[in-house]
């Protein structure tokens, strides 16, 4: 699987990856894997990894860097997109309704006899 790192914590060596299949995010905990270097992934890095599902959570294993910082603007773009979607929902036009007592009474319908 290939994905883009959305968030990473180099000190804990953990990351969240947006997967190419647009399914659930994958979580990487490098304590589960052996890394040959001290370098860790940054947000925006494109990585290739093996994936397995454990307790309905996608877990990334054996990650390898494909392209460094190829999606560097992606995490911020997602944040802005999410905040604009929230703003759009909170700015709905409110249509006032009149109470029933304020309406004029309507004449009942008359059925004509023929």
pLDDT tens string 71-107 = 777 777 777 877 766 655 565 666 677 766 655 566 6
Calculate what percentage of the chain has a pLDDT beyond 70: 66
Rounded Cα distance between 105 and 101, Å, is 9
Residue 77 lies in a domain: no
Residue 102 lies in a domain: no
Residue 38 lies in a domain: yes
Calculate what percentage of the chain has a pLDDT beyond 90: 25
Contact yes or no for 27/59 (Cβ under 8 A) = yes
Collapse the DSSP code of 67 into the 3-class scheme (helix H, G, I; strand E, B; otherwise coil) and give the result: strand
Domain that includes residue 16, residue range: 2-71
Nearest of 46, 47, 11, 53 to residue 30 by alpha carbon: 11
Residues in the chain: 114
70: which DSSP letter?
T
Position 68 scores a pLDDT of: 85
Residue 10 lies in a domain: yes
Position 105 scores a pLDDT of: 60
Residue 45 lies in a domain: yes
Q: What angle do CA 73, 78, 83 make, to 5 degrees?
A: 130
Contact yes or no for 65/47 (Cβ under 8 A) = yes
């Amino acid at each position: 699987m290939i994905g883009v790192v959305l968030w990473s914590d180099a000190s804990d060596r953990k990351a969240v990856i947006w997967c190419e299949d647009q399914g659930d995010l994958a979580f990487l905990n490098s304590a589960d894997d052996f890394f040959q270097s001290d370098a860790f992934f940054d947000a925006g890095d494109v990585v290739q990894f093996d994936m397995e599902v454990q307790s309905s959570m996608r877990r990334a294993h054996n990650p390898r860097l494909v392209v460094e910082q190829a999606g560097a603007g992606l995490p911020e773009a997602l944040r802005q997109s999410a905040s604009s979607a929230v703003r759009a929902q909170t700015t709905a036009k409110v249509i006032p309704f009149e109470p029933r007592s304020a309406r004029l009474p309507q004449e009942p319908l008359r059925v004509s006899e023929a």
